């Protein structure tokens, strides 16, 4: 029974890895149409992994795993695959941060181009909104 649970955990983690790779592709290509369903699948996989981990992390399960070489090998493979998932997830987190910074910068440029929030000072030291794209040119 424990072997089947470990195998199921390994399969869940492998499915999570595929989901993380799909998430990474969406983030790199800025193709956000599929991202919502990918994130839903990611959350579902993480919940399944966490539930099974509660069962596998009991003292009796851990003792049985330590005493059986096949179970120990499965556990090592699970830990290895999980480390790969954690690396991919960290990269995805960095991609999200970069995308957010890029979007913030783009919004600032758009605001400046439309003349909003562009405050300067005139010759008398008084606040004046900057005029962009020649809106105040009268000649």
Task: For residue 46, tell me if it sits in a domain.
Answer: yes
Q: What is the mean pLDDT of residues 94-111?
A: 85
Task: For residue 92, tell me if it sits in a domain.
Answer: yes
Which range among 46-55, 80-89, 116-125 shows the weakest confidence by mean pLDDT?
Answer: 116-125
Where would I find the H helices in 30-133?
Answer: 35-56, 59-67, 69-113
Answer yes or no: is pLDDT of 28 > 70: yes
pLDDT in the model for residue 134 = 53
Task: For residue 139, tell me if it sits in a domain.
Answer: no
Name 99's Cβ contacts closer than 8 Å, sequence gap at least 6. 27, 30
Q: What is the mean pLDDT of residues 98-119?
A: 75
Domain that holds residue 81: 2-129
pTM, rounded to two decimals? 0.74
Task: For residue 135, tell me if it sits in a domain.
Answer: no
Q: Is 119 helix (H, G, I), strand (E, B) or coil?
A: strand
Answer yes or no: is pLDDT of 9 > 90: yes
Q: What is the mean pLDDT of the chain?
A: 87
pLDDT in the model for residue 1 = 87
Task: For residue 77, tell me if it sits in a domain.
Answer: yes
pLDDT in the model for residue 124 = 73
What residues does 121 pair with on adjacent strands?
127
Q: How many other C-beta atoms lie within 10 A of the C-beta of residue 118?
A: 14
Task: For residue 136, tell me if it sits in a domain.
Answer: no
Residue 119's domain is classified under what CATH number?
1.20.58.300
Task: For residue 15, tell me if it sits in a domain.
Answer: yes
pLDDT in the model for residue 126 = 67
| Number of domains the chain is built from | 1
Please, what is the end-to-end C-alpha distance for the chain in angstroms? 86
Look at strands 127-129 and 119-121 and give their pairing.
antiparallel
| Cα atoms in the 13 Å half-sphere on the side-chain side of 41 | 17
Residue 128, φ and ψ in degrees, nearest 5: -145, 140
Which range among 10-14, 80-84, 108-112 shows the weakest confidence by mean pLDDT?
Answer: 108-112
Task: For residue 107, tell me if it sits in a domain.
Answer: yes
């Amino acid at each position: 029974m424990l072997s089947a649970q470990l195998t199921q955990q390994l399969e869940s983690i492998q499915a999570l890895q595929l989901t993380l790779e799909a998430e990474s592709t969406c983030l790199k290509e800025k193709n956000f149409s599929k991202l919502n369903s990918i994130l839903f699948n990611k959350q579902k996989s993480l919940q399944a992994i966490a539930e099974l981990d509660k069962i596998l992390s009991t003292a009796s399960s851990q003792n049985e795993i330590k005493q059986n070489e096949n179970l120990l090998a499965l556990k090592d493979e699970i830990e290895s695959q999980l480390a790969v998932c954690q690396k991919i997830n960290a990269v995805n987190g960095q991609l999200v941060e970069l995308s957010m910074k890029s979007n913030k910068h783009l919004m600032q440029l758009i605001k400046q181009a439309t003349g909003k929030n562009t405050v300067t000072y005139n010759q008398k030291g008084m606040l004046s909104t900057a005029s962009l794209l020649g809106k105040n040119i009268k000649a």
